[in-house]
Amino acid sequence: MTKTINWGIIGCGNVTEQKSGPAFGKVKGSRLMAVMRRDREKAMDYALRHKVPRFYTQAEELIQDPDVNAIYVATPPGSHAEYAISAMKAGKPVYVEKPMALNYSQCIDMLKVSEETGVPLFVAYYRRRLPGFVKIKELIDTGAIGKPLFFSIRYFVSPKEADFKTPLPWRVIPEISGGGYLHDMGSHHLDLIDFLLGPLEKVSALTANQNQLYEPEDFISAGFTGQDGIAGHGVWSFAAPEHAHEDYMEIIGEKGKISFSCFGFNHTRMLVKGRSRYFVNKRPQHVQQALIQTIVNELQGTGECPSTGISAARTSRILDEIVKYNTAKHNT
């Protein structure tokens, strides 16, 4: 397949304004052909501002557009499975926002349709192609810190202003988002560990709702084990005081360690034998562009995308495992 990939976006909301939308027109072999949003005025406004030829108010109309040959699903997770499955049944490759779906069960449904139709499915865990994180993987894979032994995640932020208002943000409404901010933000941490160290296998967790602002947990402490004896620990607080804000990840190996931020694009630090080296982790203009390029390359037969439905489903399984502790607590 060497023809131009003509993308259609279902759900042209905030995430598509800078992170992803403009990238479709900047990637080699790709262009943005159409967008869809239920609000006609907002759909038309987006199309005009981004110079997109067509806009729709119904997802199925966009999916059936004969000039659109790939679909980007950028709606909240509650509708990911529905739209992705419809697009794959129409024979059109799908790129879906993260987390992949409401839960692991929906991910499996999506993967089954992808396998049955032979239509590729990709997921927007774009850190797998950002240069700063690709460099970290290179350091680990080349043995710069020796065999990886364990990892640590610490992510502490304060409640958002919208968390105190009614209606609540969709990100903390489980039937729309799949959970709370762990699904929205913590999924990036978990997928990044999957990318850098391999799949996680076992999970145990403690969850709490300290601020009682919404149903999902706002504090999570989880332990993990993975392949080759790797172990790790993650602590997330979405109810932290300002003085406690933190965005930190660390991978410890037999010879040294690597520390970095997931969201802050701070310099990466590698410490080996008491000596530190620093590596730049620059934020690109459009953070999803590099990953989108790999999708286009794969669809045109010239490369391979590192973020697939298969890898993303693993992260959704881990999220389900963590959340079940919160669910069990509320059911006792």
Residue 1 has pLDDT above 60, yes or no: no
State the pLDDT confidence band at 32, using cuts at 50, 70 and 90.
very high
Encoded amino acid at 7, one letter: W
d(CA 190, CA 318): 8
Domain locations in the chain as residue ranges: 5-125+287-308, 131-283
CB count in 10 Å sphere of residue 153 = 21
pLDDT digits (tens, 9 = 90+) for 251-276: 999 999 999 999 999 999 999 999 99
d(CA 145, CA 270): 8
Order across the sheet with 54-56: list the strands. 54-56, 30-36, 5-10, 70-73, 94-96, 121-123
Backbone angles phi, psi at 271, to 5 degrees: -115, 115
pLDDT digits (tens, 9 = 90+) for 115-163: 999 999 999 999 999 999 999 999 999 999 999 999 999 999 999 999 9
pLDDT digits (tens, 9 = 90+) for 158-179: 999 999 999 999 999 999 999 9
d(CA 81, CA 64): 17
Q: Cβ neighbours of residue 146 under 8 Å, at least 6 residues apart?
A: 253, 254, 255, 256
Angle at the Cα of 16 (from 85 to 280), degrees rounded to 5? Answer: 115
Q: Match domain 131-283 to its CATH number in 3.30.360.10, 3.40.228.10, 3.40.50.720, 3.50.50.60.
A: 3.30.360.10
DSSP line for 6-55: EEEEE--SGGGTTTSGGGGGTSTTEEEEEEE-SSHHHHHHHHHHTT-SEE
Q: What CATH number should be reported for the domain whose range is 5-125+287-308?
A: 3.40.50.720
